[in-house]
Amino acid sequence: MTDKRVAVITGGASGIGKQTAIKFASKGDQVVVADFNQQLGEETVAQIIKEGGEAIFVKTDVSKYEDVEALVQKTVDTYGRIDVMFNNAGIGRVTPVLDQDLKDYHSVINVNQHGVAHGIIAAGKKMRELGIKGVIINTASVFGFLASPGTFAYHASKGAVIMMTKSAALELSVHGIRVLAVAPGAVDTPIIQGYKDQGMVDQMKSKVMGNKLTLPEQVADTVYLLSLPEASAINGSVVMADEGYASF
């Protein structure tokens, strides 16, 4: 048992999730890094521990509800509670809508949409059971609002994250649980580094103020701020962490 906050970060092995895990741990929270990439997930945990923080790794495929349920149970078994659930794991595929492999479409929906639903449901149930007034934060995207060619499934999944956030916030507020989303724009992580079309990356970069990619640490800082009790008025909201990407 602990009187520290306990934060679960899905997709914690890389990019935004990794930096968020490091951020929460550096502030004294106990962190559960969840990812299906075991090697990188364990490296994140090793880095946190080396820097004096507390963390464990739980191998998780967020597209499987039983994995996410087991993740939440392992969190409570280890640290005694769950205060923050950051549903962040996500994938992107770039292919024209009519030429895409339907398997790719389904895998994007399974991870980005169903993975977030699984996190909301599993963490929400556990917080309700334990009477914890926690916070659930979901990673949406500017692509939940703005369309661009080649990312049909990604838009569908992130639009769904936005509406699931609002819907769950309405219902979970009676238990004192906040649900919100963060919407990054173009962030310097492997998801973008993997795009073969440099023209597409340059175009995304040009929409970020200062013509650059946002750093994953900046998004991590936003997620941390939203998790604090001082952010109690922010509920059911989608908070842009996009350095202006969707504003102009």
Residues designated as active site: 154
* AA identity, residue 215: L
CB of 89 to ligand NAD, least distance (A): 4
Residues 131-170, interacting with ligand NAD (CB under 6 A):
139, 141
Q: How far apart are the C-alpha atoms of 50 and 234, rounded to whole Å?
A: 34
- Our finding on whether 85 is near ligand NAD (CB under 6 A) is no
CB of 212 to ligand NAD, least distance (A): 12
Tally of CA atoms within 13 A in the half-sphere of 194 that contains its CB: 8
- Our finding on whether 60 is near ligand NAD (CB under 6 A) is yes
Q: Considering only 33-41, 77-85, 93-101, 164-172, which stretch makes contact with ligand NAD by CB under 6 A?
A: 33-41
φ and ψ of 201, to 5 deg: -65, -45
Q: How far apart are the C-alpha atoms of 46 and 54, rounded to whole Å?
A: 10
Residue count at the site for ligand NAD (CB under 6 A)?
A: 31
- Binding flags for ligand NAD, 184-203, as an x/- string (CB under 6 A): x-xx-xxxx-----------
CB of 177 to ligand NAD, least distance (A): 21
Q: Tokens at residue 232, please?
A: 């109690």
Residue 183 contacts residue 140 (beta carbons within 8 Å): yes
| DSSP bridge partners of 181 | 138, 238
117-136 in b/e burial notation, b at 16+ Cβ within 10 A?
bbbbbbbbebbeeeebebbb
Exactly one of 4, 26, 27, 37 binds ligand NAD (CB under 6 A); that residue is: 37
CB of 111 to ligand NAD, least distance (A): 4
Exactly one of 15, 119, 124, 134 binds ligand NAD (CB under 6 A); that residue is: 15
Q: What angle separates helix 115-130 from helix 152-172, to the nearest 10 degrees?
A: 10
Q: Which residues bind ligand NAD (CB under 6 A)?
A: 10-11, 13-17, 35-37, 60-63, 88-91, 111-112, 115, 139, 141, 184, 186-187, 189-192, 216
